[in-house]
Amino acid sequence: MLASFGKRVWDGRWGYIFIAPAMIPFVIFTGYPLVQGLLLSFYKAGVNRDKWKYIGLKNYTNLLTRDPVFPTAIKNTFLFVLGVVPAAMIICLFVAVLIYPLSQRKQSFFRAAFYMPVVSAGVVLAMVWVYIYSQEYGLLNYIFESFGLLNLLNEGEKIGWLAQTDTALLSLAIVVLSWSLGQPLILFLAGLGAIPETLYDAAKIDGANSWQSFWKITLPLLRPTMLFVLVVLTIAVFQVFVVVQLMTLGGPANATQTIVFRIWVTGIVGAKFGYASAMAVILLAIVSVLAIIQFKLLDRQVT
């Protein structure tokens, strides 16, 4: 038993050699701090390291029963994911199917246009969008006013896009959405290119109309791509931070608080390292469950 295990290890020695360049830094710079962070979540830990104190599960019970903001942050994070991810997938699918038949040059234009926000850093977009959303001098209100939309929506008054609880989260979601379209679009275009023409020809012979072949051929064959996009987007949107930090600071009235932003406010700004670590562990638990589900799906479909 032991001998056979030893033999398998020996046989796999080249595997270990090849993963070493990745695993060694991984253990030092990710694994070790991660475990430390986990331990920290059982401590009351502030800026004075001499005063760090083990308090068991108190951080967790406080977080789940007494913290006034954390539940809102969880809710908002899920709203972000549930809003941005399906919207991005539907838009990209729609656009991909439409521009796929276009000439190479036209397709390049659209691809580049949709990819532009991905290319610019989140910081850059957040800075521009704050300016655009501004109630007093923003471009968006000007455009709305020019088209008579302000009269229609807000009795002609300029709208405080980031100032109102009912528009703030949506406004941030649109910024996040704007940089979530580029990669899925390219993926869908490639997915479309991978569907053999013969399938459509065969369907035609069988008397299917083009609408039917979209539902019966295109969509099912894009499924692996869609799943991949789903996983990547969910991961990215779960970590939404820059827009909150640079655009709203979680306001107004906590309407745009997210988990990662809470971790930052509590852990870095508030210097409650233990308490913030407990938040991080809860986030880790949520993300892990989602990831396992998604990768199970993905593994079955793709690999």
Among 57, 90, 112, 153, which residue interacts with other proteins (rule: CB under 8 A)? Answer: 112
CB 270 to other proteins: min, Å: 6
Structure tokens at 290: 């989602």
Fill in the amino acid letter for 20. Answer: A
* 239 C-beta neighbours (distance < 10 Å), count: 14
Among 1, 2, 3, 5, which residue interacts with other proteins (rule: CB under 8 A)? Answer: 5
Map the footprint of other proteins across residues 61-80, applying CB under 8 A.
Answer: 62, 66-69
176 near other proteins, rule: CB under 8 A: no
Please name the helix (run of DSSP H) or strand (run of DSSP E) that holds residue 188, with its range, or none.
Answer: helix 182-193
CB 29 to other proteins: min, Å: 5
243 near other proteins, rule: CB under 8 A: no
> How far from the centroid of its chain's Cα atoms is residue 293's Cα?
16
46 near other proteins, rule: CB under 8 A: yes
Among 61, 75, 82, 210, which residue interacts with other proteins (rule: CB under 8 A)? Answer: 210
Among 91, 149, 170, 208, which residue interacts with other proteins (rule: CB under 8 A)? Answer: 91
3-state class of 173 per DSSP? helix
Map the footprint of other proteins across residues 135-174, applying CB under 8 A.
Answer: 135-139, 141-142, 145, 157, 160, 162-165, 168
What is the tally of helices (H) and strands (E) in the chain? Answer: 17, 2
Cα atoms found within 13 Å of the Cα of residue 158, Cβ hemisphere only: 15
Among 2, 3, 50, 56, which residue interacts with other proteins (rule: CB under 8 A)? Answer: 50
Among 121, 152, 153, 202, which residue interacts with other proteins (rule: CB under 8 A)? Answer: 121
Among 64, 153, 271, 297, which residue interacts with other proteins (rule: CB under 8 A)? Answer: 271
272 near other proteins, rule: CB under 8 A: yes
Please name the helix (run of DSSP H) or strand (run of DSSP E) that holds residue 44, with its range, or none.
Answer: strand 43-44
Among 100, 149, 170, 208, which residue interacts with other proteins (rule: CB under 8 A)? Answer: 100
207 near other proteins, rule: CB under 8 A: no
Q: What angle do CA 148, 152, 153 make, to 5 degrees?
A: 115
Rounded to the nearest 10 degrees, how much is the dihedral formed by the CA atoms of 222, 228, 234, 240?
-110
In whole angstroms, what is the distance from residue 226 CA to residue 224 CA? Answer: 5
CB 74 to other proteins: min, Å: 14
Using only C-alpha atoms, what is the Rg of the chain? Answer: 24
In whole angstroms, what is the distance from residue 257 CA to residue 167 CA? Answer: 14
Among 1, 2, 21, 207, which residue interacts with other proteins (rule: CB under 8 A)? Answer: 21
Task: Count the residues of the shown chain that bind other proteins, applying the rule CB under 8 A.
Answer: 155
